[in-house]
Amino acid sequence: MELAIKDLVDMLGSSKVLTKKRDLLVYGYDSTPFKGNPVGVVLPEATQEVSDVVKIAHKYGLPITPRGAGTSLSGGPIASVGGIVLALTRMDKVITIDIENNRAVVQPGITNQNLQKALEPFGFWFPPDPASLSVATIGGNVAENAGGPHCLKYGVTSNHVIALKIVLSNGEVLETGMYSEDASGYDLTGFIVGSEGTLGIVTEVTVRISRKPEATSTVLALFNSGWDAATTVSEVIRSGLNPSVLEMIEERMLKEVNEVFELGYPETVKALLIIEVDGRKEGLSFELDKIKEICHKNNVQVLQSAEQEEEREKLWLARRGGTSALGRLKPDSAENDVVVPRSKLPHMVDKIKEISQGNGVIMGAVIHAGDGNCHPQVPFDARLPAEQEAAEHALWEVFEAAVQLGGTISGEHGVGLEKIRGMNLVFSQDEMLLMRKLKLLFDPNEILNPDKIFPKIVIEKAREEML
């Protein structure tokens, strides 16, 4: 270990290699309870430096854990087997903005928000916009295939990444995809997106950018029940309408949001929908009128409209403040991000309430309702083992319920460490073995985020079969 650190310092300089205990602690956690124990943290600024670091790690057999802003909710950037944390936050530059071809080339450490600011003067934007866009990095978005409120209409990260530059586990630099619209051969770019840093380290991302919509209108709809709100979502989509946003807050979380932000919603309100439509200004009123008809059909209690940015921001206050409003109730908090078919969303909303009551925990949820992506959250006190156990059991039952409804265990947070156990709910052992063997083709020495995603029995069996 000491020789590896010395080589890293000799190669990059001491300002880019951190080994003090306080630094290792800072880079040893994310937004989950997991903790890592790295021997060093490296802060590269260019692809060549990443390549040099990986070559040294490869030489000494040191594990490498790629890391962005550390906002992960699955334990992905945790150095749980030690080794080196490769923090890419200094690689935060926009390399190219090509308006003519609707392209931008960026380094992985740039945040969503800063990319949006760079595109703003051109009237363009990057549609994937996770709720943590002010701190979440594009590299993290790529690692987890992040979505966000606008994914209903515009798609998730994988729909907007067309090429990558990555460093493989031996330090070799590989470019995937093409700058043009169409590419032949296997879709290696698509394979890397969502792979959680287990196949290669992304050092450059070419994204498809879009012209900002001419106009946007927002409606806040308050319902008497979560079932009515979720049914409205399904009926809006089934009607052929194409809103850009359908975001939902269910009863328990809405109660806290209403109180914290003093929104003044009636106590009879049990669910909230934020609905946005965008496009040509003259067409928005027709679409909104149809959506409002569906809301009224499903017993909407309150409808508020906004077209100006300031009014829209007020309506978005509840959605963006949901996690913090519920989280204030306890010193610790856990959440997951299951996905169910849109038609099953009303059932999932009811299951969340049932599971909460059955386990004696507080559980609320914000929901990317348009694509069935639910984010249930359980505040608890980790100093009380019974509370933590109840929270973990409740979230496990959420996994089971989502799979039983035809869904899966993660929409955008990734598997990381947190959902490894849940992989058995979704995949057979043969399917997981195939995926793990594909990882070994990219990373035969298993140094890139080696213990993530797969159960240990799958990791060991894949290694045996590939020998």
Residue pLDDT, tens place only, 79-103: 999 999 999 999 999 999 999 999 9
> What ranges in 78-221 are assigned the alpha helix state H?
112-119, 138-144, 151-154, 188-192
- In this structure, the strands spanning 103-106 and 332-335 are unpaired
Instruction: Assign 223 a pLDDT band (cuts: 50, 70, 90).
Output: very high
Average pLDDT for 116-139: 93
Predicted local confidence at residue 183, as pLDDT: 74
Nearest-angstrom CA–CA distance, 362 and 353: 9
Q: Which residues contact 275 (CB under 8 A, 6 or more apart)?
A: 218, 219, 220, 221, 236, 243, 245, 246, 291
Determine the pLDDT at residue 315.
76
Task: Tell whether the model's pLDDT for residue 314 goes beyond 90.
Answer: no
The arithmetic mean of pLDDT across residues 100-120, rounded, is 97
Tell me what pLDDT residue 381 has: 96
273 has a pLDDT exceeding 80: yes
In order of their start, the domains of the chain are 2-87 (3.30.43.10), 94-211 (3.30.465.10), 215-323 (3.30.70.2190), 329-404 (3.30.70.2740), 427-466 (no CATH)
**Structure confidence at residue 184 as a pLDDT band (50, 70, 90):** confident
Mean pLDDT value across residues 203-223 = 95
Q: What was the pLDDT predicted at 321?
A: 82
Mean pLDDT over 241-270 rounds to: 93
Give the tens place of pLDDT for each residue, 2-33: 899 999 999 999 999 999 999 999 999 998 88
Cα separations in angstroms, 211 against 97, 103, 314, 327, 400:
13, 11, 25, 36, 40
Q: Is the pLDDT score of 161 beyond 90?
A: yes
Arithmetic mean of pLDDT, 338-355: 96
Phi, psi of 420 (to 5 degrees): -55, -45
- The neighbouring-strand residues paired with 164 are 176, 205
Q: What average pLDDT does this structure show over 100-123?
A: 97
Q: What is the pLDDT of residue 100?
A: 96
Query: Mean pLDDT throughout 218-224?
Result: 94
- Report, as an integer, the average pLDDT of 166-175: 98
Amino acid at 389: E
- pLDDT-derived band at 48, boundaries 50, 70, 90: very high
Separation in Å, CA 87 to CA 9, 66, 76, 79: 15, 6, 13, 11
**Helix ranges (DSSP H) in 239-384:** 251-260, 281-297, 309-320, 322-327, 345-359
Residues 6+ apart with CB under 8 A from 147: 128, 130, 156, 157, 368, 371, 373, 411, 412
| pLDDT, averaged across the chain | 94
Would you state the pLDDT for residue 45?
Answer: 98
Distances (CA, A) of 301 to 181, 277, 294: 46, 20, 13
Q: Per-residue confidence at 227, pLDDT binned at 50, 70, 90?
A: very high
Residue 311: pLDDT over 80 = no
Give the pLDDT confidence score for residue 310 in this predicted structure: 79
Task: Look at residue 211 in the predicted model and tell me its pLDDT.
Answer: 96
Predicted pLDDT of residue 13: 95
Q: What is the pLDDT of residues 423-447, one digit of tens each?
A: 999 999 999 999 999 999 999 999 9
Percent of the chain with pLDDT over 70: 100
Average pLDDT (241-247) is 94
Q: Is the pLDDT of residue 180 over 90?
A: no
Measured CA angle at 29 (ends 26, 35), to 5 deg: 115
Q: What does the pLDDT read at residue 2?
A: 87
pLDDT surpasses 80 at 126: yes
Decide which of 368 and 319 is more confident: 368
Query: Is 90 exceeded by the pLDDT of residue 119?
Result: yes
User: Cα separation of 272 and 276, whole Å?
Assistant: 13
